[in-house]
Chain A
Amino acid sequence: MGMGMKNISPRKSLLRHLHESVSRRHLLEQHAMGMNIYLLPLAAAIALVYGATRYEDAERIWRKSVRTFITIIVFMAVVLAILAFFSLWQ
C-alpha cells in the first residue's frame, strides 16, 4: 500500500513541515525555557523597583508593579512567539 507524496496536498505538506520543525526543535526549546525561567524574577524585580521609585504608597506600588510585570511578560511572550513562528521556516 504505497503512501506516496503525490497524494499530499500543499496544505498537508506545509502542516507536515511545521510538525517536523517543531519536533526537531523540541529539545532545544526545552533548554531555552530552562534559561528563560530566570527572566521571571528579573521582570518581577524590575517591576517592583520601578514601581517603588514612582510612588510611596504601598498599595499603589503593588498595583503599578503587577501591571508593569504583566506588561513585560506579555511583551516578551509576543516577541518569543513571533521569533518562534519565523524560526519554523529555517
Chain B
Amino acid sequence: MIDPRIRLKNRFLAVILAWMLPGAGHFYQERRFKSAIYFCSIVGLWVMAMHLSEWKVMAAPFNDRNERPPIIQVLKFGAQSGVGLPAVCAVVQRERVKDDENKAVRPLDEPFEAEFNGNVDYRAQAGLVGGDATGTVSFERTDGQFGQATQGHFTGTTADGKSIDIDLDAAALGRPIDGDHRRSLTAQITDGGNSLGELRGTVPRSVWNWLFVPLNKQQETDLHRTLGKRHELATLLSVVAGLLNILAMFDAFGGPAYGYGDEEHQPSKEPAPAPA
C-alpha cells in the first residue's frame, strides 16, 4: 500500500523519464528532494566515469569484423544502459559508424579548413625541413588542367619556431565518424606540381562524430595503455551508475520500498494481556 502523501502520477511516464535522465521521473512526480538525490548521485558518478575515461568508456557493443561482440561488452553496455539518454546516443553512434558512407575521403571534394597538428617532412630551398608542426590547413576547389581539383595550403610553425608556408595536394582525410577526438590527414607538399615531401597529422573531429562512438581493437588497446587502471575504474563507475538508476526507476514506479519513513515504530508482538 503506497502512502497517500506520495503522488506517483503517471507511473509509466515517470519510469521513462527516470530512465532517460536520472531524477527526471521524480521531478515530474514532484518528489523534488529525491529527484535532486538521484540526479546528483547518479549523474555525478556517470560524469566522473566519463571524465576519467576521456569520455570513451560508454559505447554500444560493436565488432568491426562483423562478428558477434564479446559477451563482456554486451553485459557492460547492458548495465550502463540504466542511464538511458547516453545509451540511446551510443546505439545511434554505432549505426552511424557502420554506415557505408563513413569512409576515408580521398580526394577531398569540399572546401575544408582546420587547425592542424602533426609533422612535415620536405625539401625546401634552404635544405631539408622536418619535424613536428602546428598551424592551419585549408583546401579549396580550383579549376585545374584536367578539370576541378582540390588545392591546399598549410601555414604554421615547426617545433623549433620556424615559420612554414607550403602548398598541398593529393590530400586524404580519415573517416568522418570514429572513436578518436582527432581525424587523420595526409597530403603531398608540392611546388608547382613537383612533390617535395609529405605532411602527416591530425585535424579536430566534431564532438558528435566521436562521442559514444565504439572504438576499434587498436583504439581500445591504445586507450587501455594510456589510461591504465583509470579505464577499469571508469567502467566500474559507469556500470554502478546504470544499476543505481534501475533502483531509482523502481522507486519512480512503485514508491519507496519501506514506506514513507516517518511512521512510529510498531512493536513486533502484541502486548500480553494483563492478569485478571
Q: Are A55 and B256 in contact (CB under 8 A)?
A: yes
Interface centre among A45, A55, A59, A60 (most CB of B within 10 A): A45
Report A-chain residues with C-beta under 8 Å of the C-beta of B31.
Answer: 56
Query: Is B262 interfacial (CB 8 A cutoff)?
Result: yes
Q: Are A48 and B260 in contact (CB under 8 A)?
A: no
Query: Is B251 interfacial (CB 8 A cutoff)?
Result: yes
- Distance in Å from the Cβ of B178 to the closest Cβ of chain A? 29
Query: Is B129 interfacial (CB 8 A cutoff)?
Result: no
Q: How far is the CA of A85 from the CA of B234 in the complex (A)?
A: 28
A45 touching B41 in the complex, CB below 8 Å, given contacts A52-B251, A55-B261: yes
Q: Are B244 and A56 in contact (CB under 8 A)?
A: no
Q: Which 8 A-B pairs have the closest CB atoms?
A: A55-B261, A60-B261, A57-B261, A45-B41, A57-B262, A49-B244, A56-B260, A53-B251
Q: Are B240 and A38 in contact (CB under 8 A)?
A: no
Report A-chain residues with C-beta under 8 Å of the C-beta of B255.
Answer: 56
Q: How far is the CA of A48 from the CA of B259 in the complex (A)?
A: 16
B32-40, B62-70, B98-106, B268-276: which lies at the interface:
B32-40
- Which B residue sits closest to A39, measured CB to CB? B233
User: Would you give 10 A-B contacts (Cβ < 8 Å), ordered by A?
Assistant: A38-B233, A45-B42, A53-B257, A54-B258, A54-B261, A55-B259, A55-B260, A56-B31, A56-B255, A61-B37
Query: Is A5 interfacial (CB 8 A cutoff)?
Result: no
Query: Is A41 interfacial (CB 8 A cutoff)?
Result: yes
Query: Is A58 interfacial (CB 8 A cutoff)?
Result: yes
Query: Is B123 interfacial (CB 8 A cutoff)?
Result: no
- Distance in Å from the Cβ of A86 to the closest Cβ of chain B? 21
Which B residues between 22 and 51 are near A, CB-CB below 8 angstroms? Answer: 31, 33-34, 37-38, 40-42, 44-45, 48
Secondary structure class of chain B's binding surface, majority of residues:
helix
Q: Are A58 and B45 in contact (CB under 8 A)?
A: no
Report B-chain residues with C-beta under 8 Å of the C-beta of A44.
Answer: 41
Q: How far is the CA of A42 from the CA of B41 in the complex (A)?
A: 9
Q: How far is the CA of A26 from the CA of B56 in the complex (A)?
A: 32
Q: Are B247 and A53 in contact (CB under 8 A)?
A: yes
Query: Is A27 interfacial (CB 8 A cutoff)?
Result: no
- Distance in Å from the Cβ of B33 to the closest Cβ of chain A? 5
Q: Are A52 and B34 in contact (CB under 8 A)?
A: yes
A49 touching B247 in the complex, CB below 8 Å, given contacts A38-B237, A56-B6, A56-B260: yes
- Distance in Å from the Cβ of A27 to the closest Cβ of chain B? 15
Report A-chain residues with C-beta under 8 Å of the C-beta of B240.
Answer: 42, 45-46
